[in-house]
Amino acid sequence: MNTTPAESAALDAVDEGAIAENLLELLAIPSVTGSAAESEAQHWLAERLRRLGLDVDLWSMDLPALQADPDFPGSEAPRDEAWGLVGVTGDDGPTLILQGHVDVVPPGDLGRWQGDPFTPRTVGRTVHGRGACDMKAGVVANLAALAAIKASGVQLRGRVAAHFVVSEEDGGLGAFGTLRRGHTGDACVITEPTSGKLVTANAGALTFRIEVPGQATHASTREAGVSAIDAYLPIHRALARLETVRNQTPDPLLAGYRVPYALSVGKLSAGDWASSVPDLLRAEGRIGVCVDEDPAAAREQLERCVAETCAADPWLRDHPATVAWTGGQFASGRLPVGDPLRGLVGDAYADATGREAPVESGAPYGSDLRLYAAAGVPTLQFGPGDVRLAHGPREQVPLDEVVDVARTLVLTVLRAVGPK
């Protein structure tokens, strides 16, 4: 293993028992995005950061001011409050950010879970529960790295900042508010689940709502009206064609995905009575934003697709569908080409685990990465767990991956901002 004595000492200080314990405790806080438990998780973590001797900034965000900001990233869950949490070591020098979100998506159909989603279970060396991989394991890995460096007594020449945020799942207001408060850094590692890969680019995702008018009448005389459901069908087919066009030449980092920029309608509603012809259909969905594409261009393409479909349709020509942009608005983002952070984290993983350096990849979803990238902070994702298990009832994370990531972060920190 290619490490200095100071690095070895810090690696030896990674506490596997504390990792398991912290993960189970954090998973037991049901911090569904927008819930009061989101705040509880932030306060729980603030206490952990204080115990590690960090300077802690725990604040209640000014939601109306953030929402009024022209760059506000959008949100879906209603919220009375949102807490920001940053813990920093030291006063000056270059700053490496370790970032993680504490919110999780709702558990969905409880019947599909083996047990309560917020009563975490350990099976062998794997921890199960909502948020296990997305991304409380990553949050705990960040804590474990900070704890190991402190325990080893290594003095840093720069600073490490832990940024723990709410609302990643519904748009990123937590990361947005943290950056707006002036917390920044020279590089950032987000420990989202990446299955051992270095994720250096994210596609974006924009949430839309299409409203299609019809003309109501009694179902027995349906030919006297126009069904909004029938009127919607050509739009649905046109959206599928648009998805094909937008996925013809994806960024090479996303070329491994069959549909890197998915355009998907996730919610349809129409009508209010079985024997009435529906006069309104609502289709809600998301369109993927290509890496390096301006979200405005993606919006414009979808709006044009809907408008052209309407123009070619005898009913919609005079009663066009409308498009609104609602909920989370995730731009795409990437680590700049040639940035040293990828080599730093890749070598740290190889030296911490004795394995090969991880491969670089893109991810087809939007995340807080794009907000840090937009703020000029070179950012990548590297964290424990498999994102394909995120948001589902089999969500889990292998503890050994959490330990590997914690060890990787220890070396990343020491090589980026220390030792003195």
Catalytic residues: 103, 168
Report, in Å, the least distance between residue 131 CB and Zn ion. 9
Kindly state whether residue 368 participates in binding Zn ion, applying the rule CB under 5 A. Answer: no
Site for Zn ion in 231-260 (CB under 5 A): none
Phi/psi region, residue 54 (left: phi>0; alpha: psi -120 to 50; beta: rest), is: beta
CA 350 – CA 198 distance, rounded (Å): 12
Report, in Å, the least distance between residue 397 CB and Zn ion. 12
Given a contact cutoff of 8 angstroms between Cβ atoms, the answer to whether 2 and 352 are in contact is: no
CA 155 – CA 419 distance, rounded (Å): 5
Q: Residues 24-43 vs Zn ion: string with x where CB under 5 A?
A: --------------------
**Which of 81, 79, 42 lies closest to 62 in space, CA to CA?**
81
Report, in Å, the least distance between residue 135 CB and Zn ion. 4
Using the rule CB under 5 A, give the single segment among 31-39, 129-137, 247-255, 351-359 that binds Zn ion: 129-137
Using the rule CB under 5 A, give the single segment among 27-35, 67-75, 185-193, 405-413 that binds Zn ion: 185-193
Kindly state whether residue 144 participates in binding Zn ion, applying the rule CB under 5 A. Answer: no
Using CB under 5 A, count the residues that bind Zn ion. 3
CA 5 – CA 296 distance, rounded (Å): 51
**Residue 238: burial class (beta carbons within 10 Å; 0-12, 13-18, 19+):** middle
The residue (of 319 and 391) whose beta carbon lies closer to Zn ion is 391
**Residue nearest Zn ion by beta-carbon distance:** 134
CA 100 – CA 142 distance, rounded (Å): 8
The residue (of 131 and 213) whose beta carbon lies closer to Zn ion is 131
Choice from 19, 88, 132, 135 touching Zn ion (CB under 5 A):
135
The residue (of 383 and 419) whose beta carbon lies closer to Zn ion is 383
Q: What secondary structure does DSSP assign to 348-372, as a single string? A: HHHHHHSSPPPPEEEESS--THHHH
The residue (of 192 and 395) whose beta carbon lies closer to Zn ion is 192
Report, in Å, the least distance between residue 324 CB and Zn ion. 26
CA 132 – CA 403 distance, rounded (Å): 14
Within 73-146, strands assigned E span 83-88, 95-101, 121-123, 126-128
CA 153 – CA 143 distance, rounded (Å): 16
Asked whether the CA dihedral 179, 182, 185, 191 is positive or negative, the reply is negative
Angle at 342 between CA 383 and CA 144, to 5 degrees: 35
The residue (of 33 and 247) whose beta carbon lies closer to Zn ion is 33
Using the rule CB under 5 A, give the single segment among 1-9, 22-30, 135-143, 294-302 that binds Zn ion: 135-143
Q: Residues 187-216 vs Zn ion: string with x where CB under 5 A?
A: -----x------------------------
The residue (of 190 and 302) whose beta carbon lies closer to Zn ion is 190
Report, in Å, the least distance between residue 192 CB and Zn ion. 5
Kindly state whether residue 134 participates in binding Zn ion, applying the rule CB under 5 A. Answer: yes
Report, in Å, the least distance between residue 193 CB and Zn ion. 7
**Which of 173, 171, 150, 154 lies closest to 162 in space, CA to CA?**
150
CA 155 – CA 93 distance, rounded (Å): 12
Q: Mark out the alpha helices in 13-95 (DSSP H runs).
A: 16-27, 36-51, 63-68
The residue (of 166 and 226) whose beta carbon lies closer to Zn ion is 166
Using the rule CB under 5 A, give the single segment among 29-37, 116-124, 132-140, 217-225 that binds Zn ion: 132-140
**Which of 280, 279, 269, 270 lies closest to 217 in space, CA to CA?**
279
Report, in Å, the least distance between residue 132 CB and Zn ion. 11
Site residues (vs Zn ion, CB under 5 A):
134-135, 192
